[in-house]
Structure 1
């Protein structure tokens, strides 16, 4: 029994030491690098040398479109809508009937006014007869001159009453004419919110419809103060009127990114900046002979600008922080530094830079997501011509 206890006491320290040894070997094996694995070096990233060359840049501004003439068609008299002669979206010509308001009330008013005119005409004739009767009697000293003067005064009163009656007839006739609502201009009919039998009035907030003349469309867009200064500096002329005359035609980019077939001209600049937005409104006119554009369309007005020496870079080489666009430049030591740039214009894939980069400097083309200022990379040179050509395709 004593021998067994001695054996157990002797065996326990040996087992504990072996465990410690195995644990140490395991930790060392996990923490030591694998044989033959080289240490990681600086990341290999594509780098391009930027160069300047003449280029055509584009500036785009969101625009809303309106027809040259947009008329609210409203009734000038109240009454029940008796007929609607046109349908929504139809093209109508100036003077074409659009709506008919029940004319019965106004026809009766015209009849009453006409009757009053006849009575007034009879009173004029009666007063004239009285003057003609008294005139020779006064000349013969049969009656006093006062009676003739009174008769003449009554005659003038009768004529004034006749003029009032005629005016009332004219007003009633106009109201009867107002019951037929015609198109004030040629154009397309908008929505018609009223139906036959609806009571309409000239004080209604909603018009009968809106008529749009769309053979010429106005595109309204806004420029910031900085863009406005650039616009003024780009075109010759002492005044804004002269600069507008010298400004080139502009294009309209539609909602599906297609380019409208007709080019437009800028014809108006607002007289002041909006205090809320800090922008100023422009208006460009576009011919619309086929009626493709309608009031309410949206799009973008695009300016073409010729830049004699522009630095062109791919958009994918840039990144944004807040409202700034930046690139990573590469120094001789292969260290990268972020730098803000100013965009003078752009295409679908390219940026035109007019400040922040110089010809001959190198920038990182891609893989900038994990870069930080001061990081070292292994540049992989990429010819600028091949990069820019691929982005223009």
Structure 2
């Protein structure tokens, strides 16, 4: 019995000793990193914009009449001067003929009046007729000349009116749908809208920026914090509503010199080539304006950033070699790198791999690898094929 008690006590002692052993330390997770440094980065401003045609013309009726026929295909490209509609010309043709007849009659009267003057001229020198008679004949001749000139002008006006019965394209471009149909009455007085023509190669994109931001950029340029390119051009790149990018960059070609009193913004406009017609007038787009370079900027690779409803965050390695979460304020995404406005400073070590395995406070081990290589950000990336 004594032996059994001693055995039980030994077992309890062994169990107690085994329970006091510390758990094994977690193995460091191998990670790839980048060390934050200041570098010249593009100064990117993102703004919403709308696509507009470079030229737009409203085709309106210039005579009153009944539309006989539409002469173009809706939505097709038309040339300048191409016939679009035909308005019934019969009434204006009759008016033209009537004015032509009046001009012929006035010319006959003028010829007769000049003949009288020619006959009276030698007679008045011989005192065969009075000077009063000669003056009256001369006045009648001049009146006939004025009458001819007046009717000639009326005939030119009638000719224009007759030509306006064929409605032509005032500019080249894409013609929209017809606003009237055959048989409709159009009015010169009301200027009945018949269709619209838009030129969409190239196109304009209009957007607006807060006046305070424009002032801040100008001050930064004056202070040397932002450096423009040699040509002082501002490149613009577009993103569609589905997230895809327009492959051809454009450039700012207009900056308003006044502030909109209602919105407090300054208007800007960029011009974009549109050889394939991908940009449609009225379309909403997001524009990235590359306004020079910020000399002391910070970027991190896109894969290092975790996005959530609260914003962006990254994992960094603290002084103890442990993982720490860091919230960052992000700017624009350029060349697969996020521009960081706040949250990081030069010397911070940012983790770019195995992010799913990491938790704050975990030990990590830095390893070499191309995944952590930070690609330099360029202010003027290479243009895609087809860019001009």
TM-score past 0.5 threshold: yes
Give the direction of change, closer, same or farther, for the CA distance of 1:390–1:152 in structure 2 (3 Å limit): same
Secondary structure (helix, strand or coil) at the match of 2:171 reads: coil
Whether the 8 Å contact between 1:95 and 1:184 is mirrored in structure 2 is yes
Is 63-72 or 298-307 further displaced after alignment? 298-307
Q: Where does residue 51 of structure 1 map in the other structure?
A: 36
Q: Structure 1 pair 105/382, CA: closer, same or farther in 2 (3 Å)?
A: farther
Partner Cα separation in structure 1 for residue 252 and residue 176 of structure 2: 27
Secondary structure (helix, strand or coil) at the match of 1:163 reads: helix
Give the drift of 1:217.
0.9
Aligned residues: 334
Name the structure where helix makes up a greater proportion of residues.
Answer: 1
Query: Is the deviation greater in 260-269 or in 91-100?
Result: 260-269
CA distance in 2, matches of 1:308, 1:380: 35
In the TM superposition, 1:285-296 aligns within 5 A as: 285-296=271-282
What pairs up with 1:147-162 in 2 under 5 angstroms?
Answer: 147-162=133-148
Relative to structure 1, the CA distance from residue 165 to residue 277 in structure 2 (aligned partners, 3 Å threshold; closer, same or farther) is: same
* 1:345-360 matches, cutoff 5 A: 345-346=332-333, 351-355=338-342, 357-360=344-347
Is residue 299 from structure 1 mapped to residue 299 from structure 2 by the alignment?
Answer: no
**Residues of 2 paired with 1:222 and 1:172: CA distance?**
48
Aligned residue in 1 for 2:97: 111
- Tell me if the contact between 1:235 and 1:247 (Cα under 8 Å) persists in the aligned partners: no
Gaps of 5+ in 1: 1-47, 366-376
Counterpart of 1:146 (choices 115, 121, 132) is 132
**d(CA) in 1 for partners of 2:209 and 2:367?**
33
SS of the residue aligned with 1:359? coil
- The alpha-carbon deviation at position 301 of structure 1 amounts to 2.2
Residues 363-374 of structure 1 aligned to structure 2 (within 5 Å): none
Encode CA deviations 1:308-346: one digit per residue, 9 max, x unaligned.
44334665367659xxx9999999999x9998x764433
Q: Which runs of 5+ in 2 are unaligned?
A: 1-32, 353-359, 376-388
Q: Distance in 2 between matches of 1:104 and 1:297?
A: 43
Q: Cα–Cα, structure 1 residues 206 and 172, in superposed 2: closer, same or farther, change >3 Å? A: closer
CA RMSD of aligned residues (A): 4.3
> Would the aligned equivalents of 2:34 and 2:372 in 1 still touch at CA under 8 Å?
no
Within a 5 Å distance, the mapping from 1:226-305 to structure 2 comes to 226-229=212-215, 231-232=217-218, 245-304=231-290
Contact 2:305 2:313 in 1 (8 A): no
Q: How far apart in 2 are the matches of 1:130 and 1:211? A: 57
- Structure of larger gyration radius: 1
Q: Do 1:216 and 1:289's aligned partners in 2 also have CA atoms closer than 8 Å?
A: yes
Matches for 1:179-194 after TM superposition, within 5 Å = 179-194=165-180
In the superposition, the TM-score normalised over structure 2's length comes to: 0.71
